[in-house]
Chains A and B, each alone.
Chain A
Amino acid sequence: MAKITLDNLAHSYLKQPQKDDDWALKELNHDWVDGEAYALLGSSGCGKSTLLNIISGLLQPSQGRILFDGRDVTHAPTAERNIAQVFQFPVVYDTMSVGENLAFPLKNRGADPKYIAERVNAIAAMIGMEDQLKRKARGLTADAKQKISLGRGMVREDVNALLFDEPLTVIDPHMKWELRTQLKQLHHDFGHTMIYVTHDQTEALTFADKVVVMYDGRVVQIGTPQELFERPAHTFVGFFIGSPGMNLFDAEIAGTIATVQGASVPLGGSYAPKTGHTQIGVRPEFVRLQAGGEGLPARILRVEDVGRHKIVRLDVGGTAANAILDEGTPVPAGADRVVFDPGAINVYADDWRVAPQGAQGDGPQGAQGDGPQGAQGDGPQGAQGDGPQGAQQGRAA
């Protein structure tokens, strides 16, 4: 187990990167704290896997250094780093039995046969394949093969870090939830540093202590699920996390008032005048509907009842927006105005969040405590992939 430091790290798949776009991974400085579980979240092609492969040594970075507990391993081979990694597509050694597959990493390191047998049995129990240890791995289902891959990743106890590259993509939903729970349990029991790459926000939010959101080769925010929800540092985070994502409106900011489509919206703090493209963002959970009075004029397009709450699709002066209402709350009759909770409004200039004047604890490492991970809908509902409604409701309530 080790602290992993990324120092000025960047990578390009081209030999002579010229433009900003040539970099698959833009310059990055970050410490992965020993023993924490991280999720690396982002849409496909944003550099998540590149970053993971650099950490495990499968890829040499174009610039910068990687340190394990302060030791420079940038050019060290994978073997020397002692890292376990599980890939998106199942990798099994076809000609070996399931048990031999699980024992392979230990055997290669010359472990004691008794210890190997012990570990193999323990891991087999964990992935639920005790009765298939003698079976050849060839011809197993993708599910089973991926479980073996996971098992091979977990069989070594002394690894510096466990890296998962979207490992549950091919697993069916029920097993997904079960395996994720086991991974969490494993993290709890052994305290490995874990980095879990995914594009599924439910997976990220339920698995990790800290979520690292990547966009276009850049880390846009690192924070607890709660921070990502309440203070998205980038409009992408607001949009990507949450179901539906954050509402964004073009706005002019002056002091404590934002002017949106000619109407005034009070803000939770005072902001210095900003140039560039300024926007306000507010989560659907903090949008209220009312008939007449103050607020922005809005038209209800349709109401979607998703069981635990209602999503109201709105047209606010030509901009699509959403509001979430609790299941018990009726949509007000003749509602034609939306009002935002001032404290829940975030201000963005050129896509990056702007802190109100005199605010503190704004960074990702802010003083927001540990976030209610326990309450993040860590149940089968969450596992069915329809966004972290559970998580958000928990917090919105």
Chain B
Amino acid sequence: MNKTVNQKAWFLVLPVLILVGFSAVIPLMTVVNYSVQDTFGNNVFFWAGLDWFRDMLESERMWNALGRQLVFSGIILAIEVPLGIFVALNMPKKGFWASFCLVLMSLPLLIPWNVVGTIWQIFGRVDIGLLGYTLAKLGISYNYTQDFIAAWATVIVMDVWHWTSLVALLAYAGLQSIPDAYYQAAKIDQASRWKVFRFIELPKMAGVLMIAILLRFMDSFMIYTEPFVVTGGGPGNATTFLSIDLVKMALGQFDLGPAAAFSLMYFLVILLISWVFYTVMTNLDKREGR
């Protein structure tokens, strides 16, 4: 069949190109632009080459922030994924209580980040917060503005409180898709509860769990609002994660060049980790199929 050649069709793509260019490409290029230049004000820029990148790679401050970030993401994944699966396994399968649990589980997901931060900021205060006050009365030393461990614990528990629901809901969806016949067959085969989980539920959940892990990793790796509202990155730099550090650098110190280099590397790191993660997971899946 002969196709009609009509180059005018490109005009149909134009609105999208303009929109994407305006909202994504040009701002990103601005960042790229800043990352290779230096300025002493008055909008006068000098070519700086890859200096900022080199500076950033040698900067202890950035490596520390990255380290904290990785530890944080690692901890919340290690808590939220098993906890989410556990919650999903124990949710009712149907009826009124199933709907009730679903609504209850989605509530934290509907609360804006800064509100979550504010809730926990107040909740943890020793003078007026329920949690802080109770802990203090119990004789446990807890002050997230001064104590490193308390600050981390607060930020982690807050994230778990906010986001475990997401993992649970996804895992629940995976579980709901398993036909009854599987459980019946497992009973006939006299499989233990653990084996049912290991050989039926986990494989069937693998797909959604991968998405859950990916989402939680990316989200936690970019976390900003909640710890910023609660601890402001302190005490000291204890909870200064990458985003917080980046904002401090760009807007606090107005070091646009280093901040631009920083954000580009930040972007690449997320892209790289997500890609590696995704590739490994899908390949595992395929290898099993062979």
Contacts and interface: CB of A to CB of B under 8 A. Distances in A.
Interface in A176-221: none
A95 B190 contact: no
Given A94-B203, A136-B289, A108 B181 contact: no
Contacts of A77: 187
Interface residues on A, range: 20 to 34
Interface residues on B, range: 10 to 19
A84 interface: yes
A359 interface: no
A108 B203 contact: no
Contact of B288 (A83, A108, A138, A149): A138
Contact of A108 (B190, B200, B204): B190
B199 A91 contact: no
A78 interface: yes
A62 to B, nearest CB: 19
B35 to A, nearest CB: 46
Contact of A87 (B184, B204, B288): B184
Contacts of B269: none
21 contacts: A57-B187, A58-B184, A58-B187, A79-B187, A79-B190, A83-B188, A84-B188, A87-B184, A87-B185, A89-B181, A91-B181, A91-B184, A93-B199, A94-B203, A94-B288, A95-B288, A96-B199, A108-B191, A109-B190, A139-B289, A152-B185
Contacts of A87: 181, 184-185
A105 interface: yes
A224 interface: no
A105 B190 contact: yes
B184 A108 contact: no
Interface in B186-208: 187-192, 195, 199-200, 203-204
Given A85-B184, A89-B181, A95-B199, A138 B289 contact: yes
B182 interface: yes
Which of B179, B187, B203: most chain A CB closer than 10 A?
A: B187
Ordered nearest first, which 5 A-B pairs have the shortest CB separation? Answer: A91-B185, A139-B289, A105-B189, A78-B187, A108-B190
Contact of B189 (A57, A104, A138, A139): A104
Given A96-B199, A136-B288, A138-B288, A91 B190 contact: no
A85 B290 CA distance: 28
A389 interface: no
A89 B185 CA distance: 11
B288 A104 contact: no
A288 to B, nearest CB: 49
A85 B190 CA distance: 12
Contacts of A89: 179, 181
Interface string A121-138: 000000000000000101
A313 B189 CA distance: 50
Contact of B290 (A78, A105, A136): A136
A93 B204 CA distance: 10
Interface string B121-160: 0000000000000000000000000000000000000000
A149 B184 CA distance: 12
Nearest to B183: A58
Contacts of A153: 188
B290 A91 contact: no
Interface in B162-221: 179, 181-182, 184-185, 187-192, 195, 199-200, 203-204
Contacts of A5: none
Interface in A121-169: 136, 138-139, 149, 152-153
A56 interface: yes
Contacts of B204: 94
Contacts, number: 60
Nearest to A163: B188
Contacts of A95: 199, 203, 288
Contact of A152 (B181, B189, B199): B189
A85 B200 contact: no
Contact of B185 (A57, A79, A139, A149): A149
Nearest to A56: B188
A93 B188 CA distance: 13
Contacts of A79: 187, 190
Interface string B216-244: 00000000000000000000000000000
Given A58-B184, A149-B185, 17 more contacts: A77-B187, A78-B187, A78-B188, A78-B190, A79-B187, A83-B188, A85-B185, A85-B188, A89-B181, A91-B184, A91-B185, A93-B200, A95-B203, A104-B199, A105-B188, A136-B288, A152-B189
A83 B188 CA distance: 7
A286 B187 CA distance: 49
Interface in B26-53: none
Contacts of B199: 93, 95-96, 104
A77 B186 CA distance: 13
Which of A77, A93, A109, A153: most chain B CB closer than 10 A?
A: A93
Contacts of B188: 56, 58, 78, 83-85, 105, 153
A60 to B, nearest CB: 13
B16 to A, nearest CB: 38
Contacts of B184: 53, 58, 85, 87, 91
Contacts of A105: 188-190
Interface string A71-85: 000000111000111
Contacts of A93: 199-200, 203
A58 to B, nearest CB: 5
Which of B185, B189, B191: most chain A CB closer than 10 A?
A: B189
Contacts of A96: 199
A53 B181 CA distance: 11
A88 B179 CA distance: 12
Contacts of B203: 93-95
Contacts of B290: 136, 139
B187 A104 contact: no
A89 B188 CA distance: 15
Contacts of B192: 108
Contacts of B179: 89
